[in-house]
Amino acid sequence: MEEKTILIADDDMDLLEQTTAVVEGAGYKTITADSEKSAMEILENTQPDLAIFDLMMENMDSGFILSRKVKEINHKIPVIIVTAVTSETGLHFETDNTKSSWIKADAIINKGIRYEQLLSKIEDLLK
């Protein structure tokens, strides 16, 4: 089986390192970015098999911007957005209804991430 490459972008270095360790521990290759800008540069030269983006980095909507960019490159690349917005503001984002069709992510996971949930979602999206 070919090793899948996952792009992980988060400006919280602790979360970036933890997520990377968990994803690599599950057998995936990772490429990391600590900002929206850095992730954009990576996407100019690399096409990951899946991407995981923090929602808020330099901009309040960095994850949405990056998701749109990924889908422009290849609409089949799955995107997961991780966010603390729901716990901090009460705003709730969904990817599976018509009102949220502007969200170009395949899944949204709230921070306070349970890594087994993230790995399960990765496996589902890479099938």
Q: Which residues of the chain have pLDDT under 50?
A: 86-93, 97-100, 102
Q: What is the rounded distance in angstroms from the CA atom of residue 91 to the CA atom of residue 88?
A: 8
pLDDT at residue 85, rounded to an integer: 56
For the segment 83-109, what is each residue's pLDDT rounded down to a tens digit? 875 444 444 445 554 344 546 789 988
Q: If we measure between CA atoms, which residue out of 10, 13, 54 comes closest to residue 33? A: 10
For the segment 65-75, what is each residue's pLDDT rounded down to a tens digit? 999 999 999 99
Q: For the chain, give every domain's residue range.
A: 5-126
Strand partners, 7: 31, 51
Question: Which one of 3.20.20.70, 3.30.1320.10, 3.40.50.2300, 3.40.50.1480 gives the CATH number of domain 5-126?
Answer: 3.40.50.2300
pLDDT at residue 51, rounded to an integer: 97
110 Cβ contact list (under 8 Å, min separation 6): 82, 83, 84, 86, 87
Q: How many CA atoms lie within 13 A of 26 on its CB side?
A: 19
User: Exposed (0-12), middle (13-18) or buried (19+): which is 61, by Cβ within 10 Å?
Assistant: middle
Q: What is the pTM of this model?
A: 0.86
